[in-house]
């Protein structure tokens, strides 16, 4: 422990920003509308009304872990089995399946990280109309109404949420074939061997006007009502040149919706991997009277949601919050948290379809050094492989991949090469012949290997839902299997919706077969499995030592555990830049923090202004990668004149300086499930002004970013939340009061970013060639005082790339606090001191004086070189 008295003295540094007193378009015809997807049309034709379902109360069984009850459809006498679970952490699980299905219906495996621990339900009362169950503390009750069947979750006298209150529970039971079941879309016929199997359920959310989530859609953060339009669709699709601001399906699907009001935040997790449509309506009067015990019923705003899926069962997790943080923790307890990426993966990535050859890679690498722009990863798209045979290298363009990788390693940089899940049908290609001989390919409805067209031409699709296949796939990343690979080669999984160029809606036929199940049942989870198997491969090749880094385009609930996602093939347009914010915010709300969009836009060519603005925005979004289509002109950062090069350099440098903060936010996301990039309402849940805001965002709690996303902008108006709080412009240290709209004049170099008063943010201000080069560099702490002259923050440090932080608990995790004119660092977790951490003189047990510099005009106090060791307790006292 060392104590410092501010006045003078040497060694490591520390900044105090102190407040002292003042201070083109998609071809829509390729994709189905709800009307063209017959189950959606059928289900949507069903209008709210009296439900035909009735609970058979006499079938009630209540055990320690769950309650079961049969439901009967009075129209066709088919019985369903309802299972209710009270889960630890304020959640309720509702499962509905056929009581006696002709054959099992698909239940999604591998998404939940474990069997969610339950808590006993207790029966409070029961009569012929229903029963009341206790959900534990907080006077929360679950009311089961028998006829018609419905569920209400109440807290005190308030209904939090109702199921089947609009009578839209519909369960198409499996049946003996009673006619032609097949359906046709364009030239594709779906044989539908099991006939209609869809399911639907409605949820009513009294008091709720704002719902979020259910990515991936290129739409606003706040979900819109879908009355009179298309429902939001969840069906992983490779959409060529997607359109903005509509509910069409995109590459990934996470069936999780959050509802929010100043009183409460809740979540609905609809665990179903089949094609799913979500209708949202907001109507306070029509259905209000149904909730006769709701206070002020007809005046209460209400949002109604309806989920429709093509097959599987109803399995819903109701996360009761009540705060946003609680909902994140609840969802994380079910599906896990964000994978903790290697630090370098949070740095800048340079990608292009395609870097042509080794020489090109070397030249681009050299270009970054010549222009003194840092980067950590250079990427190779599909052209690097020999005829798009993944795991191989084009012998002319990349004859010596290991040498190339060594060249990057010498600069402490890394590479990502693409490995897609479509496998060229070519008997001389080892990957193909092994998959075929092991029977690992997905089968078509007639039992042969399913084949479709993709980049390599005729391709097979490995069945990643098969654990043996995944294990084999993972083994292919071993250094002796993946020829030309090295430790600094990582992987990118694209096209894993899966994309099938000649398939229905550019994807796989729904009647393709994965073992016992149809592709229909599990379509949306295919991409998750691809990334899961790939990430496992990268872990295994290092003997379980190194953290993997895998980027995926398709995803599902739980994908956050395996790496990063990006928003697919966007375009070099200003609106596409703007949409990156709601798209990544939506993903963050449902667990996926490691999100980014192609900087510059994939299709088309950005103007220099758009490119610069995109770098400035991307520098403050979690996954920061520039990418470009093959047909576009080159756009490495130095190709647009010295001024633009300097602007881009500065944006990238700002990213690198903030890497300690990013890393710590990801550590947090990994530990707790809290999103890294946050919607404002997450931190200001009472402030209704923030509820629809998606042109700015928070990083953690402490940085507010309002990127410039308008062409020719002269200024932006940022909303600084928090009455009584203060925010500091991170570039000028100027202080602004919270709870106001602030007009900020901007130039081309402006990236409006504010640090919350009351926070301490660690940075590394010595920006070097790559993040690895900065590992030994000292930290600079930016202490922004609250009006009460208080601040706190954290500092998390580990080796940046292995699992040692987890397995050997090798990390430093400090809580930093400034109070009573004293800045101190105290241990949070286990402490591991590594000599590399600090370039400092020994200060143990000594008391010394620090030199300082005070800028009275901006009230900035700079403490010169406190030189403390990040791993030990220390105190700095201002006197």
Tell me the catalytic residues. 494, 569
| Helices vs strands, H then E, count in the chain | 14, 53
> Which of 546, 609, 799, 851: binder of another protein (CB under 8 A)?
851
Q: Specify the residue, 501 or 852, whose C-beta has the smaller distance to another protein.
A: 852
Q: Specify the residue, 748 or 773, whose C-beta has the smaller distance to another protein.
A: 773
Tokens of 194: 């099991």
Question: Min. distance of Cβ 865 from another protein in angstroms?
Answer: 5
Of the candidate spans 82-90, 158-166, 181-189, 625-633, the one that interacts with another protein by CB under 8 A turns out to be 625-633
List phi, psi (to 5°) of 192. Answer: 40, 65
**Residue 411 makes contact with another protein by CB under 8 A:** yes
Tokens of 729: 């412009």
CA distance readout (Å), 68 to 61, 71, 95, 580? 5, 10, 9, 44
Query: Distance from CA of residue 755 to its chain's centroid?
Result: 24
Question: Min. distance of Cβ 24 from another protein in angstroms?
Answer: 10
Question: Min. distance of Cβ 357 from another protein in angstroms?
Answer: 8
Tell me the sheet residues that pair with 798. none
Provide the mask over 758-787, with x wherever binding to another protein is found by CB under 8 A and - wherever it is not: -------xxxxx---xx-xx----------
Q: Between the CA atoms of 779, 782, 783 and 787, what dihedral angle is there, to the nearest 10 degrees?
A: -170
Question: Min. distance of Cβ 25 from another protein in angstroms?
Answer: 14
Question: Among all chains, which residue has been given the structure tokens 């709690």?
Answer: 701
**Residue 643 makes contact with another protein by CB under 8 A:** no
Question: Min. distance of Cβ 580 from another protein in angstroms?
Answer: 24
> Which of 176, 631, 741, 857: binder of another protein (CB under 8 A)?
631
Helices 574-589 and 608-618 pack at an angle, to 10 degrees, of 10
**Residue 10 makes contact with another protein by CB under 8 A:** yes
Tell me the sheet residues that pair with 822. 819, 877
**Residue 77 makes contact with another protein by CB under 8 A:** no
Q: Specify the residue, 7 or 186, whose C-beta has the smaller distance to another protein.
A: 7
Question: Min. distance of Cβ 848 from another protein in angstroms?
Answer: 6
Which residues are CB-contacts of 445 (< 8 A; sequence separation ≥ 6)?
191, 193, 509, 511, 512, 513
Q: Footprint of another protein on residues 444-483 (CB under 8 A)? A: none
**Residue 240 makes contact with another protein by CB under 8 A:** no
**Residue 13 makes contact with another protein by CB under 8 A:** yes
Question: Min. distance of Cβ 765 from another protein in angstroms?
Answer: 7
> Which of 864, 868, 876, 878: binder of another protein (CB under 8 A)?
864
Provide the mask over 367-406, with x wherever binding to another protein is found by CB under 8 A and - wherever it is not: -----x-----------------------x----------
How does 450-475 read in b/e, with b if 16+ C-beta sit within 10 Å? bbbebbbeebbbbbbbbeebbebbbe
Q: Specify the residue, 358 or 690, whose C-beta has the smaller distance to another protein.
A: 358
Of the candidate spans 155-163, 165-173, 631-639, 660-668, the one that interacts with another protein by CB under 8 A turns out to be 631-639
- Judge residue 296's burial from the number of C-beta atoms within 10 Å of its C-beta, 0-12 exposed, 13-18 middle, 19 or more buried: exposed
DSSP 386: B
Asked whether the beta carbons of 371 and 648 are under 8 A apart, the reply is: no
**Residue 844 makes contact with another protein by CB under 8 A:** no
What is the DSSP track for 403-415?
A: HHHHHHHHTT-EE
**Residue 264 makes contact with another protein by CB under 8 A:** no
What CA–CA distance (Å, rounded) separates 699 from 660?
13
> Which of 4, 9, 531, 797: binder of another protein (CB under 8 A)?
9
**Residue 181 makes contact with another protein by CB under 8 A:** no
Question: Min. distance of Cβ 866 from another protein in angstroms?
Answer: 10
**Residue 853 makes contact with another protein by CB under 8 A:** yes
Q: Specify the residue, 58 or 410, whose C-beta has the smaller distance to another protein.
A: 410
Q: Specify the residue, 806 or 853, whose C-beta has the smaller distance to another protein.
A: 853
What CA–CA distance (Å, rounded) separates 91 from 520?
29
* SS3 state at 351: coil
Question: Min. distance of Cβ 411 from another protein in angstroms?
Answer: 6
Q: Specify the residue, 192 or 627, whose C-beta has the smaller distance to another protein.
A: 627
Of the candidate spans 3-11, 417-425, 686-694, 800-808, the one that interacts with another protein by CB under 8 A turns out to be 3-11
**Residue 801 makes contact with another protein by CB under 8 A:** no
Asked whether the beta carbons of 144 and 54 are under 8 A apart, the reply is: no
Question: Min. distance of Cβ 374 from another protein in angstroms?
Answer: 8
**SS3 annotation, 780-817:** EEEEECCCCCCEEEEEEECCCCECHHHHCCCCEEEEEE
Q: Specify the residue, 7 or 807, whose C-beta has the smaller distance to another protein.
A: 7
Of the candidate spans 81-89, 93-101, 408-416, 724-732, the one that interacts with another protein by CB under 8 A turns out to be 408-416
Which residues are CB-contacts of 551 (< 8 A; sequence separation ≥ 6)?
416, 491, 492, 493, 563, 564, 565, 566, 623
Which residues are CB-contacts of 88 (< 8 A; sequence separation ≥ 6)?
116, 117, 118, 119, 333
**Residue 879 makes contact with another protein by CB under 8 A:** no
Q: Specify the residue, 15 or 391, whose C-beta has the smaller distance to another protein.
A: 15
The Cβ-side half-sphere exposure at 294, using a 13 Å CA radius, reads 25
Provide the mask over 706-745, with x wherever binding to another protein is found by CB under 8 A and - wherever it is not: ----------------------------------------
What is the DSSP track for 429-461?
A: -HHHHHHHHTT-BPB-TTSSBPEEEETTEEEE-
Q: Specify the residue, 360 or 449, whose C-beta has the smaller distance to another protein.
A: 360
Asked whether the beta carbons of 379 and 447 are under 8 A apart, the reply is: no
Tell me the sheet residues that pair with 721. none
What CA–CA distance (Å, rounded) separates 117 from 878?
49
Question: Min. distance of Cβ 635 from another protein in angstroms?
Answer: 9
> Which of 189, 296, 839, 842: binder of another protein (CB under 8 A)?
839
**Residue 575 makes contact with another protein by CB under 8 A:** no
Provide the mask over 343-372, with x wherever binding to another protein is found by CB under 8 A and - wherever it is not: -------------x---x-----------x
> Which of 175, 412, 578, 701: binder of another protein (CB under 8 A)?
412
* SS3 state at 344: helix
Q: Specify the residue, 371 or 736, whose C-beta has the smaller distance to another protein.
A: 371
Asked whether the beta carbons of 132 and 139 are under 8 A apart, the reply is: no
Query: Distance from CA of residue 177 to its chain's centroid?
Result: 41
**Residue 848 makes contact with another protein by CB under 8 A:** yes
The dihedral through the CA atoms of 694, 700, 704, 707 has a sign that is negative
**Residue 573 makes contact with another protein by CB under 8 A:** no
- Count of positions on this chain that bind another protein (CB under 8 A): 36
- Find the DSSP H helices in 313-399: 324-335, 358-370
**Residue 119 makes contact with another protein by CB under 8 A:** no
- Largest pairwise CA distance in the chain: 89
**Residue 410 makes contact with another protein by CB under 8 A:** yes
Pairing between β-strand 2-6 and β-strand 517-518 as defined by DSSP bridges: unpaired
Q: Specify the residue, 299 or 853, whose C-beta has the smaller distance to another protein.
A: 853
Nearest in space to 85 (alpha carbons), one of 255, 265, 271, 316: 316
Question: Min. distance of Cβ 350 from another protein in angstroms?
Answer: 14
Q: Specify the residue, 448 or 845, whose C-beta has the smaller distance to another protein.
A: 845
Binding residues for another protein, per CB under 8 A? Answer: 7-10, 13, 356, 360, 372, 396, 410-412, 630-634, 765-769, 773-774, 776-777, 839, 841, 848-849, 851-854, 864-865
């Amino acid at each position: 422990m060392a104590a410092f008295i501010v006045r003078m003295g040497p060694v490591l540094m520390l900044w105090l920003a102190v407040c002292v007193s003042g201070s083109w378009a998609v071809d829509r015809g390729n994709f189905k509308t709800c009307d063209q997807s017959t189950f959606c049309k059928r289900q949507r034709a069903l209008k709210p009304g009296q439900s035909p379902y009735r609970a058979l109360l006499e079938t009630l069984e209540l055990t320690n872990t769950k309650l079961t009850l049969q439901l009967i459809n009075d129209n066709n006498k088919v019985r369903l089995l309802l299972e209710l679970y009270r889960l630890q952490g304020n959640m309720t699980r509702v499962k509905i399946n056929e009581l006696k299905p002709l054959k099992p219906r698909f239940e999604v495996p591998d998404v939940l990280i474990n069997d969610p621990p339950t808590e006993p339900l207790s029966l409070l009362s029961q009569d012929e109309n229903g029963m009341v169950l206790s959900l534990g503390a907080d006077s929360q009750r679950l009311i089961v109404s028998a006829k018609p069947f419905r569920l209400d979750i109440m807290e005190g006298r308030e209904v939090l949420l109702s199921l089947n209150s609009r009578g839209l529970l519909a369960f198409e039971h499996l049946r003996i074939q009673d006619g032609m079941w097949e359906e046709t879309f364009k030239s594709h016929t779906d044989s539908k061997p099991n006939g209609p199997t869809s399911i639907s359920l409605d949820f009513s959310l009294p008091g709720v006007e704002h719902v979020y989530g259910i990515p991936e859609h290129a739409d606003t953060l706040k979900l819109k009502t879908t009355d009179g339009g298309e429902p939001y669709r969840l069906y992983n699709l490779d959409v060529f040149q997607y359109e903005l601001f509509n509910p069409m399906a995109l590459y990934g699907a996470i069936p999780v919706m959050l509802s929010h009001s100043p009183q409460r935040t809740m979540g609905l997790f609809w665990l179903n991997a089949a094609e799913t449509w979500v209708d949202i309506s907001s109507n306070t009067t029509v259905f209000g009277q149904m909730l006769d015990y709701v206070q002020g019923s007809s005046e209460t705003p209400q949002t109604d949601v309806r989920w429709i899926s093509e097959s599987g069962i109803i399995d819903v997790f109701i996360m009761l919050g009540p705060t946003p943080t609680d909902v994140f923790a609840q969802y994380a307890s079910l599906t896990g948290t964000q994978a903790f990426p290697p630090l370098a993966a949070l740095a800048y990535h340079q990608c292009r379809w395609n870097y042509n050859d080794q020489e090109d890679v070397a030249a681009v690498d050299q270009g970054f050094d010549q222009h003194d722009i840092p980067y950590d990863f250079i990427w190779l798209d599909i052209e690097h492989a020999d005829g798009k045979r993944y795991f191989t290298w084009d012998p002319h363009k990349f004859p010596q991949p290991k040498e190339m990788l060594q060249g990057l390693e010498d600069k402490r940089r890394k590479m990502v090469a693409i490995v897609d899940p479509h496998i060229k049908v070519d008997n001389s290609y080892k990957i193909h012949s092994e998959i075929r001989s092991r029977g690992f390919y997905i089968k078509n409805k007639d039992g042969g290997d399913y084949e479709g067209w993709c980049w390599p031409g005729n391709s097979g699709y490995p069945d990643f839902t098969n654990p043996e296949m995944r294990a084999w796939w993972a083994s292919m990343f071993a250094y002796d299997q993946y020829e030309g690979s090295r430790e600094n080669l990582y992987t990118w999984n694209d096209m894993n919706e899966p994309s099938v160029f000649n398939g229905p809606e550019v994807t796989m036929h729904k009647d393709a077969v994965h073992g016992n199940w149809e592709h229909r049942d599990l379509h949306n989870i295919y991409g998750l499995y691809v990334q899961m198997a790939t990430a496992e491969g990268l872990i295994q090749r290092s003997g379980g030592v190194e953290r993997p880094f895998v980027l995926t385009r398709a995803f599902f609930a739980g994908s956050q555990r395996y790496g990063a996602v990006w928003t697919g093939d966007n375009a070099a347009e200003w609106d596409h830049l703007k949409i990156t914010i709601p798209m990544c915010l939506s993903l963050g709300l449902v667990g996926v923090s490691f999100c980014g969009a192609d900087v510059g836009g994939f299709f088309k060519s950005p103007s220099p202004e758009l490119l610069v603005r995109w770098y400035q925005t991307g520098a403050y979004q979690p996954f920061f990668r520039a990418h470009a289509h093959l047909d576009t002109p080159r756009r490495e950062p130095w190709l647009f004149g010295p001024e633009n090069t300097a602007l881009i350099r500065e944006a990238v440098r700002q990213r690198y300086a903030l890497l300690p903060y990013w890393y710590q936010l990801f550590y947090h996301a990994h530990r707790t499930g809290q999103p890294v990039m946050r919607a404002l309402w997450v931190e200001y849940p009472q402030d209704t002004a923030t509820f629809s805001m998606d042109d700015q965002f928070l990083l953690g709690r402490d940085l507010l970013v309002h990127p410039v996303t308008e062409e020719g902008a002269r200024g932006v108006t940022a909303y600084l939340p928090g009455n009584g709080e203060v925010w500091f412009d991170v570039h000028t240290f100027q202080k602004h009061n919270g709870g106001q709209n602030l007009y900020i004049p901007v130039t081309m170099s402006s990236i409006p970013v504010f640090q919350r008063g009351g926070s301490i943010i660690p940075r590394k201000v010595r920006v070097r060639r790559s993040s690895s080069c900065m590992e030994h560099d000292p930290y600079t702490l930016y202490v922004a005082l609250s009006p009460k002259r208080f601040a706190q923050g954290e500092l998390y440090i580990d080796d940046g790339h292995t699992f040692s932080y987890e397995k050997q608990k090798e990390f430093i995790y400090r809580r930093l606090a400034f109070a009573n004119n004293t800045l101190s660092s105290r241990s949070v977790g286990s402490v591991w001191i590594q000599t590399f951490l600090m370039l400092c003189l020994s200060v143990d047990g000594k008391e010394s004086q620090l030199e300082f510099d005070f800028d009275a005009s901006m009230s900035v106090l700079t403490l010169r070189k406190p030189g403390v060791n990040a791993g030990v307790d220390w105190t700095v006292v201002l006197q």
